[in-house]
A = this chain, B = another copy of it.
Amino acid sequence: MSTWKLTPQNPVPSDIEVSRSLKDFILPISTIAENLGLAPSQYHPWGPHKAKVSLSTISPPPTSNYIVVTGLNPTPLGEGKSTTTIGLAQSLQASLGKKCVACIRQPSQGPTFGVKGGAAGGGYSQVVPMEEFNLHLTGDIHAVTASNNLVSAALESRMFHESSQTDTALYSRLIKNGKFSNVQISRLKKLGIDKIDPETLSESEISKFVRLDIDPSTITWNRVLDTCDRHLRGVTVGEGRKETVKGKGGGERVQHSRSTGFDITVASEIMSVLAVSSSLLDLRSRLSRMVVAFSHTNVPITTEDLGVSGALTVLMKDAIMPTLMQTAERTPVLVHSGPFANISLGNSSVIADKIALSLVGSDGYCVTEAGFGADIGMEKFFNIKCRTSGLKPNLAVVVATVRALKMHGGGPAVSAGKALAEEYRSKNVELVEKGMSNLIRHIKNARKFGVKVVVAVNKFETDDEEEIEVIKRMSLEAGAEDAVMSDHWAKGGDGAKDLAEAVVKACSTSKPENFKFLYDVELPVKEKIEIICKEIYGAEGVDYEEKAEEQIAEYEKNGFGNLPICMAKTQYSFSTDPSLKGAPSNHRVTVREVRSCVGAGFLYPIAGDIMTIPGLPTRPGFYDVDVDVETGEVVGLF
């Protein structure tokens, strides 16, 4: 395998400048694929720098090393979790000569143009070309948008047609060429009607078949866009001039209009389905199980009832293949799925991890990232993603920064766009020591799953030796295998060599067979929620609003009670209050509502105030973004 030595500049240029400076050095994606051992039939180039990788590359998982990278509760500036994931992968391959693949999520374009910036990593530890990574990629998020909104159109127009047509009219229109389609036969089975000839249904069977009888107040399916458009959070639809229609049997005109909302695409259940699916068959099956509403008689209405599940699978058939890219040091990266961690699963896909583990072989390393704070990203990685995949992790790398620890120790508020306070720019061992409570709880949480921990301190110029020593000492005392300073942002893989060595050492003695879940899915829903809140968040207890109580009862009655739990909670605190730093322990969690993601396979309690679509600031990031029309190069992205 060809290697190439980075020559990092100092000071480190902007992310896009670093990415652009490497454009003559990165390899054609076909070379990256060949180096990984992919046959030409196993991947499809998608432009010069990206390729879709076929699921045929998945082999029974060998005993390769499976490492999850997570972090403490971050400041709003982010603590470099993606950067560390990429830097660690670069070091494992380029510095230590290990076979390694990094697995990360596709970023939402919304925040890319808003406040957040990209998610490709940064400095000399990033996925390149970063603009290809941050925009469109290979269209997976667009496919989720299209699929999600086809469900909405199907749902809304079915209600519309049912409101204006008699049973006979509906039936005559639903039957084509005297036959049921496969998706209609599925619905008949669900109704217990064992017939395949449309001529033989009785009047009451016809009525059951043609009427989904959706109760609009139970609809949980929102439309989505991958844009930070806050004014779509709450909308009324169906107000068009021509949206009135004669009622059934020629009754008076009715307008089917309804209050609803949009979420950001990465919050769509279909994005979570993509993250947890293991095969095309599994994807098809999950896309048909999604519950979008209940009928007036409390029957769950699924995408299969809407007749749309086959079409969804067709729309998602390319998206199921992860996208292969490379890092600044030519390490292969699989980019796949992109659910937000605060409002969704927050992990990259099972398929990407399985492909990576298959390709790196038994001595290799798959470094995968779990979003936001370990209290949500890592907990969901263990309890949901690993449960679904059957994979057992060897190690958790928990990323920390001196800055975030100081904030948890009582430092002034940190916010995007404002200068950092003095405490963050000079030595303050006391704040770091106090703030370690946050990191320590994450270390102990990982140990509850039987997983070893290495702490990675993402280096900043202002970090002090004594501050680092405190982090090391207290991390080891809390049960971490090691705690290592890492300078991959400025130096690439070379800067993460200590970290990579610590990871290799910890993996060599790790016992994946010790891995265990925190709860049994067969427990009652509330008990599972309480285990997470108490064991992981350190909460005193959980309170439920009435709506949540009703929903839980409904789900348990309908057989969804045995699904794992995917909490929607702020990433900024162990509690539901973003301002509560450190390791709070006398707080209570209030669950406002519980949504079901039956296709993705989890229940989704909403704790506290979580936005499902961000807004744009007064000066959005897109003010700086442009194309150099002479060279075609993107400028100003970050």
A residues contacting B by CB (< 8 A) are 44-48, 52, 109, 113, 131, 135-136, 139, 142-143, 145-146, 149-150, 152-154, 156-157, 160-161, 165, 170, 173-176, 181-184, 223, 225-243, 256-259, 261, 279-281, 284, 307-308, 310-311, 313-315, 317-318, 611, 615-620, 622-627, 629, 632, 634, 636-637
Contact = CB atoms under 8 A, between A and B. Distances in A.
Contacts of A623: 176, 181, 183-184, 307
Contacts of A261: 240
17 contacts: A44-B48, A136-B146, A136-B318, A142-B146, A157-B228, A157-B229, A173-B617, A175-B619, A176-B623, A184-B623, A223-B225, A231-B238, A234-B238, A279-B629, A284-B626, A313-B627, A314-B625
A257 B239 CA distance: 14
A227 B149 CA distance: 7
Contacts of A226: 146
Contacts of A227: 146, 149-150, 152-153
A231 B156 contact: yes
Nearest to A175: B619
In the complex, the count of this chain's copies comes to: 2
A59 B311 CA distance: 41
Given A46-B47, A142-B136, A157-B616, A634 B317 contact: yes
Contacts of A625: 310-311, 314
B230 A307 contact: no
B242 A237 contact: no
Given A154-B622, A225-B149, A622-B310, A240 B230 contact: yes
Nearest to A313: B627
A184 B183 CA distance: 54
A258 B234 CA distance: 11
Given A152-B229, A227-B150, A236-B236, A618 B310 contact: no
Contacts of A239: 234-236, 259
Contacts of A153: 227-231, 616
A356 to B, nearest CB: 21
Contact of A616 (B154, B234, B624): B154
A295 to B, nearest CB: 18
A173 B618 contact: yes
B629 A284 contact: yes
A320 to B, nearest CB: 9
A52 B233 CA distance: 36
A160 B618 CA distance: 9
Contacts of A232: 223, 237
Nearest to A620: B154
A626 B165 contact: no
Contacts of A182: 626
Given A154-B616, A314-B627, A149 B284 contact: no
A237 B232 CA distance: 6
A617 B160 CA distance: 10
A231 B157 contact: yes
A249 B428 CA distance: 39
Contact of A315 (B135, B152, B176): B135
A223 B225 CA distance: 10
Given A44-B48, A47-B46, A231-B256, A622 B307 contact: yes
Contacts of A308: 622
A241 B234 contact: yes
A148 to B, nearest CB: 9
A626 B311 CA distance: 6
Contacts of A634: 314, 317
Contacts of A149: 225, 227, 229
A143 B109 CA distance: 11
Contacts of A173: 617-619
Nearest 5 A-B pairs (CB), nearest first?
A: A310-B626, A233-B240, A234-B240, A142-B142, A311-B622
